[in-house]
Amino acid sequence: MHKSHSFYEEVLTDAIPEPTKLKSVRLISAGTMNQSVLLDTDKGALFLKSNHLPSSDMFLQEIKGLTLLHKHAPLQIPKTIGAGRIASQNYMLIEWIHGGYPNASYWKNLGHGLAELHMATSPQFGLDEDNYIAALPQRNTFNNNWPDFFAEERLEPMAGKAYYDGLISKDFYKKLQQVYPKLKDLIPNEKPSLLHGDLWSGNVIVNTKGDPCLIDPAIYFGHREMDLAFSKLFGGFRSEFYEAYHEIFPLEPDFESRVDIHNLYPLLVHLNLFGQSYLPGIKKVVKKLL
């Protein structure tokens, strides 16, 4: 349902120190979780996302993710304005990215930009705070070892939730856990990279210059193949993107053979968010690994 103008005016007052006049509101999307609107103000166009979820820090974590991406990525990232809670509603206010059409260098720029982002590193895998992927909590407890982090902070929390919610059987849950000890022999050892964390085609938009812009991150320092694998899960990334990435930061040999392993995490996320239509894909990967 479209919210009243009074809520939008309260957001502008809460997020922007100087008085800001609201000219008009345009609904962008109204899903089961979030509502997104374009606010036209005397200070320009702003993007507002809001929800009624009890987790009051979800948008604060998204703001932090965008801020960290802005610091390390050469790509355009929406400028952050503020996040908070008004009565029972959470909100996030950021720069509105006016859309355009991809230019001739779009995929090359995206590949180079992601490679440069991945060059930002950390002593350990994880992040100093937990955050979210979509509406699901994402644990980021630091770990020196990627296979352990991937098993303990990514696969196990999502598999455990799926079992608890009746989306997978106990037998399959136990079978999935048998994959964890195998990870150390399947994934090459690399330094932690700053990841977007939710890199599919819907989270890359085009600005007016035709250049790529990253939105909706679920950041952490992880294995960089996670972002590359996720980009293949739902299509939408052209071969020029991978070629350009490889020019800047070549992947270890046989990356394609590891894509399904990395994508167990986003598939489990989608299983928990959207139901059992994602289960056959998970079972296929687990069967192959065992």
Catalytic residues: 198
Nearest to 97 by CA among 212, 238, 227, 246: 212
CA atoms within 13 A on the CB side of 169: 5
Q: What is the CA radius of gyration of the chain?
A: 20
Question: Between helices 225-233 and 239-248, what is the axis angle to 10°?
Answer: 170
- Report how far residue 194's alpha carbon sits from residue 276's, in angstroms, rounded to the nearest whole number: 31
Pairing assessment for the beta strands 136-138 and 89-95 based on DSSP bridges: unpaired
- Report how far residue 216's alpha carbon sits from residue 51's, in angstroms, rounded to the nearest whole number: 15
Q: Which residue has the tokens 């996720």?
A: 230
Q: Positive or negative, the Cα torsion across 241, 243, 249, 251?
A: positive
